[in-house]
Structure 1
Amino acid sequence: MNTLQRRNAIKDELQNQKLISAKKLALKYGVSRQTIVGDIALLRAQGQPIISTVSGYKYQEAGTAYHGVVVCQHTIEQTREELEAIISLGGEVVDVLIDHSVYGQIVGTLGLANQADINDFMSRVKNVNHNLLASLTNGIHLHNISCSDEKVFNSIQQRLDDLHFLYHD
């Protein structure tokens, strides 16, 4: 299989699966993980709507009708509760963003859409002993949230406010 055939196969695979990791793709096609990362970058440059999440690559879903942003502040220990509140009301946590005093905006793609995604994310944070981006900004961070409509987004905002997770200046 040549490079072009591999990229086309990866594209087809991503269109037909919900999520797949670079490691699995590398094993399947007999190349390094870094080669897959490069393939994905080139597919994106060609206009393919591929996003990366904490669990792997997937196609950006076109069916989501509404996107909104929330500004939150809470302790690191409250992260799971925040994410579960969003997911339980029908939202997907697309990413997390902070405004860093030195580096400017720093964005981490999350793609958390269900409880398994949250469990995997929280396990990685705990087991690999990583710090969350919000730890750099006294817990203040933004989330892009994807959901079916504005009503669902408003419900998510209200729930986060009830939990005292929304940032109020």
Structure 2
Amino acid sequence: MDNSRKMTGPERQVFILDQLKKAETPISGRELANMTNVSRQIIVQDVSLLKAKKEPIIATSQGYVYMMEKKTDGMKQRTIVCRHKPEETLEELQAIVDCGAYVYDVRVEHPVYGDLTGILNITNRQEAEKFVRSLKMTNASLLLELTDGLHLHTIAATTEDKLDAACEELKTRGFIFE
């Protein structure tokens, strides 16, 4: 970015879109704020304006992603129902990715709001650890805390065998709700 003059809101939004479209991994609001010399809150506002213009930007636990297509496109997918304590979240996520599956989202059914979904995009142990660290650092609640631990995940993998292995591992650990 050229630091000699301050970007206007529309210029910054074009810059944000360009960065997200080029990125191979999520970009955090803090990173975008540093790139544009504005606060993270300004980035949140810019992203909201872009979403209102129908730009397919998703806020994930790792940062913002421009969703031209879901990472799960072309992969085998399965929705699983799980139940566990909040402190078992890392174990659950790592059990899934250790079997070669990908955790696309988490979903709960709220009695007032209906389905609430959080996009996770967790593909490996490090991303699972980063997600849990982020929860602790921000003191944020997990969606499963709204439903006494009950939640759904969309998981994906290149083969049905990997999905079967992930489900079997979760069942062994007592995390699958039947």
Q: TM-score range by the shorter chain?
A: 0.7 to 0.9
Q: Which moved more, 1:148-157 or 1:5-14?
A: 148-157
Task: Indicate the residue corresponding to 2:61 in structure 1.
Answer: 54
Which of 31, 37, 42 is 1:24 aligned to?
Answer: 31
* Structure 1 position 147, deviation (Å): 2.8
* Structure 1 position 25, deviation (Å): 0.8
Q: Secondary structure at the match of 2:26?
A: coil
* Structure 1 position 140, deviation (Å): 0.8
- Quickly say closer, same or farther: Cα 1:10–1:99, change in 2 above 3 A: same
Task: Indicate the residue corresponding to 1:8 in structure 2.
Answer: 14
Query: How many residue pairs end up in the alignment?
Result: 168
Task: Indicate the residue corresponding to 2:102 in structure 1.
Answer: 92
Q: Does 1:162 align with 2:172?
A: yes
Write the mapping of 1:1-169 to structure 2, written as runs, cut at 5 A: 1-17=7-23, 18-60=25-67, 62=70, 64=72, 65-66=74-75, 67-168=77-178
Distance 1:31 1:123 in 2: 25
Normalized against structure 2, the TM-score is what?
A: 0.79
* Structure 1 position 141, deviation (Å): 0.6
Q: CA RMSD in A?
A: 2.3
* Structure 1 position 70, deviation (Å): 0.8
List runs of 5+ in structure 2 lacking aligned partners: 1-6
Q: Which moved more, 1:154-163 or 1:44-53?
A: 44-53
Q: Deviation string for 1:19-60 (max 9, x for gaps)?
A: 211122122212232322232233334443322111211233
List runs of 5+ in structure 1 lacking aligned partners: none
Q: Deviation string for 1:111-168 (max 9, x for gaps)?
A: 2222222112222333444432212222111112233344432332222222221111
Residue identity in the other structure for 2:55? Q
- Quickly say closer, same or farther: Cα 1:68–1:45, change in 2 above 3 A: farther
Distance 2:15 2:137 in 1: 33
Distance 2:45 2:117 in 1: 20
Q: Deviation string for 1:88-120 (max 9, x for gaps)?
A: 122222221111234332222322222222112
Normalized against structure 1, the TM-score is what?
A: 0.83
Task: Indicate the residue corresponding to 2:4 in structure 1.
Answer: none
Q: Secondary structure at the match of 1:142?
A: strand
